Amino acid sequence: MKLKLPNIFNIRKKSNTILAATNAADPNIVKLLSLTDGISFKVNNSGDYVDKGYKKNVDVMPVIKWIAEKGSSIEWIVEERKGDEWEEINDTEFHELMHTPNKAKDMTGKDLIMQHLSWLCISGNSYIIPFGSTGFKNKVKSLDVLPSPAVTIESNNDYFMPNNVYKFSINKEYTFQHEQVIHSKMFNPEYFDITNMPYGLSPLAAAAMVVQTGNDRWEANAHVIQNKGMIGVLTDKSEFAMSPQQAEKLQESGLQQLGGSANKFGGVYFSRKSLDYIQLAMSTADLQLLETTPLTLRAVCNMYGVDSSMFNDPENKTYNNRKEAEKASYINGIKPLLDKTSAKFNTHIVPKIFEGKKIRVRPKYEDIEALREDFESKAKTQVSLVNSGIQSPKQAANNLGLDEPDETAKNINNGKKEKEEK
């Protein structure tokens, strides 16, 4: 079955026809049929991404909210390179920083990552400012996230040696040099436009028509419900129009006969013009065009790499159970964004905190319940490698992100050695 997307302009066309037939003389009919203008979705305007893409769209907001909340709940760990292995270390300055990245705003690490991921998903850009004790070149003491719509980037128009300057304006204008901003962004293919090239491309830009369709669909649904009070107009097309008093009496008499004076649901509106009946209610075909919720939801979910069954789409049975859907959503929707974030942290924050040391920070994915199955499968592989003598229990534990060698792997390995010695 081929489904068609709804077109609110068909609804407006029907409304305009009725208004023309009644000469728009009756203010009640004008109010009854009025529709708002269409939404202008400007793909290069971050403000539209927020106002019409996130705040207004019931498909976009839950998806981005899920990514931001789940992603910000993952713990960040610090690891030090020792030989060929990475070992987790605790109670570092980075831990302290992520505990309260901005004391002035009472911001937690979860707040920071949530804002960062939200802006990245909405606008395609996230701007984190690292502050030192006396400026930007000292050890990082606090972090802040700039709202993307309030940031403009001024470029020197040099493709190979760009020197971007970031202008931030809310009540007051601030200027940041490129080395003072941790700018995470989505890939932007507009490489011919040097002025737009520094910005990331929002997923909502590609999904602009889907977002527009979703907003129009809900607007149309609202008008269907509003207009459902009257299913038609009975208008007087005689040479001499009825007076307002005559029309009112005819209206009252008709309602009493057709459905009761207090019940106008499914009723007929009586006007003062030459009597003729015009259907006002939408046809079955028109109503079917409005039933596209799963289509727009799936399109939005595809843009963000998450499974639509996570958002009450029962018709989507791509995965056998919710755990598999959640696992895929973590891997495709959250992990790429956090990997991008950890790369930025390791480039801009870690060297200022751990000067001269081989340190990295990363999200602790192995603690995520939805990914535990992968961890268990990986653990079996590591134990097998230990049993085969290919690697030591310590190496296996490090590969699994464990603080110490797994006791089971150690015992199995020791037992294997004892058998070989006998």
DSSP string, 159-227: SSS---EEEEEESEEEEEEGGG-EEEE-----TT-TTTTTSPPPHHHHTHHHHHHHHHHHHHHHHHHHH
| pLDDT range class, residue 159, cuts 50, 70, 90 | confident
- Which one, of 196, 143, 202, lies nearest residue 348 by Cα? 143
Measured CA to CA, the distance from residue 308 to residue 333 in angstroms comes to 12
pLDDT level of residue 13 (50, 70, 90 thresholds): very low
Residue 234 sits at φ, ψ, to 5 deg, of -105, 110
Residue 293 has pLDDT above 70, yes or no: no
Contact, 181 vs 144, CB < 8 A? no
- φ and ψ at 329, to 5 degrees? -70, -40
| Residue 16 predicted with pLDDT over 70 | no
pLDDT band at 206 (very low <50, low <70, confident <90, very high): confident
Residue 332 in tokens: 């495709």
Q: What is the pLDDT of residues 381-399, one digit of tens each?
A: 888 888 888 888 888 887 7
CA gap 131, 95 in Å, rounded: 16
pLDDT single digits (tens) 309-338: 888 776 776 666 778 889 999 999 999 999
pLDDT of residue 345: 97
- Dist CA 297 CA 415 (whole Å): 54
Confidence grade of residue 137 (pLDDT, cut at 50, 70, 90):
low
Q: What is the pLDDT of the chain when averaged over all its residues?
A: 77
Report residue 342 as tokens: 């950890």
CA–CA dist 356, 350 (Å, integer):
10
- 46 pLDDT tier (thresholds 50, 70, 90): low
pLDDT number for residue 107: 97
pLDDT for res 96: 96
Q: What is the pLDDT of residue 338?
A: 97
Helix (H, G, I), strand (E, B) or coil at 334: helix
User: If you search the block for the tokens 């802040």, which residue do you land on?
Assistant: 144
Q: Which residues contact 342 (CB under 8 A, 6 or more apart)?
A: 360, 361, 362, 363
Q: Quick one: average pLDDT of 401-409?
A: 57
pTM of the model: 0.69
* d(C-alpha 37, C-alpha 12), whole Å: 10
